[in-house]
């Protein structure tokens, strides 16, 4: 005869054991995906660059080499801290693979009159990420203010970005997508400028433009537990970083001391963008349509 109390206790233990086994199985899955992802990078990333003359329809070919020494990347952001808050995995993977990475930040983040301080913080963050100060450009323009209510004009931002691309023979541009990751108007303005340049055929022949995919808020705060979803969903370019690189991403974030309010500290712990980046290619037109 089984006593009711004993039955309940056994039942509860069974549930606990099942949950523990499921969680353990999930951790093993994460480890397997992480190992596969990192072992095959950059070929597992979807793409990095295509050679001249190849398809530019937005579905670029994969590269199989470990070194990305020929990659001259330009990260275009709106504010100091965007580079580590959203793009740290991509920047760290590219710099570790010997790619040249430049940063074009279109404002000094002067919303609270902290522009001068934030510029210094940005340089500190970039140094941790592997971008030397001479490869960082911060734009100071009264028409490009850090303000979610400010509409940045394409007529102003597009030529600035294009000049950078041509001056430094950039062949890979990284920026936000139409959702701007956080929905910030300034982020979205950069996507619009690059989409415009791509649409009118002003992006050089050998240059590829990638936009960082905005994901749902639920996925955004699953930290590295979100990994299987990013792994399974299609993307043109993707990066994942491990514990050592995460420490660097965190260190870069900590350089932005003026921004370290409590929810930023939670962001460092829980944001999936601190571990994983997935990008979509912006299709580039070959025809050079008249610009303005």
Residue 280 is a binding residue for Zn ion (CB under 5 A): no
**Under a CB-based contact definition with an 8 Å cutoff, are residues 158 and 292 in contact?**
no
Least distance from Zn ion to the Cβ atom of residue 186, Å:
6
**Residue number with CB closer to Zn ion (68 or 78):** 78
- 78 scored as a contact of Zn ion (CB under 5 A): yes
Taking alpha carbons only, the member of 53, 54, 67, 160 closest to residue 106 is 160
**Considering the complex, what minimum distance in angstroms separates the CB of residue 62 from Zn ion?**
30
CA–CA gap between residue 263 and residue 268 (Å, rounded): 9
Minimum CB separation from Zn ion for residue 78, in Å? 5
Residue 277 three-state SS: strand
Which SS3 state, helix, strand or coil, does residue 176 take? strand
SS3 111: coil
Spatial CB neighbours of 188, under 8 Å, sequence gap ≥ 6 = 176, 178, 179, 180
Using left for φ > 0, alpha for ψ between -120 and 50, and beta otherwise, residue 288 falls in beta
Query: C-beta of 121: minimal distance to Zn ion in Å?
Result: 13
3-state secondary structure (DSSP) of residue 215:
coil
Binding Zn ion by CB under 5 A: which of 63, 79, 102, 272? 79
Separation in Å, CA 143 to CA 90, 93, 154, 177:
29, 33, 11, 22
Per CB under 5 A, the segment of 13-21, 73-81, 134-142, 222-230 that binds Zn ion is 73-81
Task: Return the bridge partners of 280, or none.
Answer: 211
Please choose, out of 77-85, 135-143, 158-166, 190-198, the segment that lies near Zn ion by the rule CB under 5 A: 77-85
The CB-of-85 to Zn ion minimum distance in angstroms stands at: 7
CB of 273: closest distance to Zn ion in angstroms?
12
Of residues 114, 193, 111, 181, the one with CA closest to residue 146: 111
Least distance in angstroms from the C-beta of 187 to Zn ion: 6
User: How does DSSP assign 212-227, residue by residue?
Assistant: EPP--HHHHTSGGGGH
Residue 88 interacts with Zn ion (CB under 5 A)? no
The binder of Zn ion chosen from 73, 82, 84, 176 (CB under 5 A):
82
Closest CA to 152 of 107, 200, 198, 182: 107
Closer by beta carbon to Zn ion, 106 or else 241: 106
How many residues lie near Zn ion (CB under 5 A)?
3
Q: Which residue is nearest to Zn ion (CB)?
A: 79
Our CB check for Zn ion shows the closer of 83 and 245 to be 83
Backbone angles phi, psi at 110, to 5 degrees: -95, 25
> Among residues 70 and 147, whose Cβ is nearest to Zn ion?
147
Stretch that binds Zn ion, among 56-64, 74-82, 207-215, 261-269 (CB under 5 A): 74-82
What contacts 269, CB < 8 A, 6 or more positions away?
Answer: 223
In this complex, which beta carbon is closest to Zn ion, that of residue 68 or of residue 122?
A: 122
Stretch that binds Zn ion, among 16-24, 70-78, 120-128, 264-272 (CB under 5 A): 70-78
> Which CB atom, from 79 or from 102, has the smaller least distance to Zn ion?
79
Q: Which residues bind Zn ion (CB under 5 A)?
A: 78-79, 82
């Amino acid at each position: 005869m089984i006593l009711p109390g004993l039955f309940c206790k056994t039942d509860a233990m069974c549930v606990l054991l099942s949950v523990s086994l499921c969680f353990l199985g999930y951790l093993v899955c994460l480890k397997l995906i992480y190992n596969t992802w990192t072992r095959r990078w950059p070929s597992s990333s979807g793409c990095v660059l295509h050679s001249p003359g190849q398809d530019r329809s937005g579905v670029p070919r994969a590269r199989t080499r470990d070194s990305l020494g020929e990659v001259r990347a330009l990260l275009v952001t709106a504010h100091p801290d965007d580079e580590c808050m959203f793009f740290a995995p991509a920047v760290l993977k590219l710099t570790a693979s010997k790619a040249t990475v430049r940063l074009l930040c279109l404002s000094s983040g002067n919303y609270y009159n902290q522009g001068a301080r934030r510029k210094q913080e940005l340089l500190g963050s970039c140094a941790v990420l592997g971008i030397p100060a001479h490869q960082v450009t911060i734009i100071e323009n009264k028409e490009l203010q850090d303000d979610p209510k400010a509409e940045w004009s394409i007529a102003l931002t597009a030529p600035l970005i294009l000049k950078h691309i041509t001056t430094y023979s950039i062949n890979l541009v990284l920026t936000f997508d139409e959702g701007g990751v956080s929905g910030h108007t300034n982020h979205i303005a950069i996507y619009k400028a690059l989409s415009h340049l791509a649409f009118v055929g002003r992006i050089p022949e050998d240059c590829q433009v990638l936009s960082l995919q905005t994901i749902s808020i639920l996925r955004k705060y699953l930290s590295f537990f979100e990994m299987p979803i990013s792994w399974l969903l299609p993307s043109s370019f993707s990066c994942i970083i491990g514990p050592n690189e995460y420490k660097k991403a965190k260190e870069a974030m900590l350089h932005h001391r003026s921004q370290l309010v409590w929810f930023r500290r939670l962001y460092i712990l829980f944001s999936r963008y601190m571990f994983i980046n997935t990008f979509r290619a912006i299709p580039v037109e070959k025809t050079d349509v008249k610009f303005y």
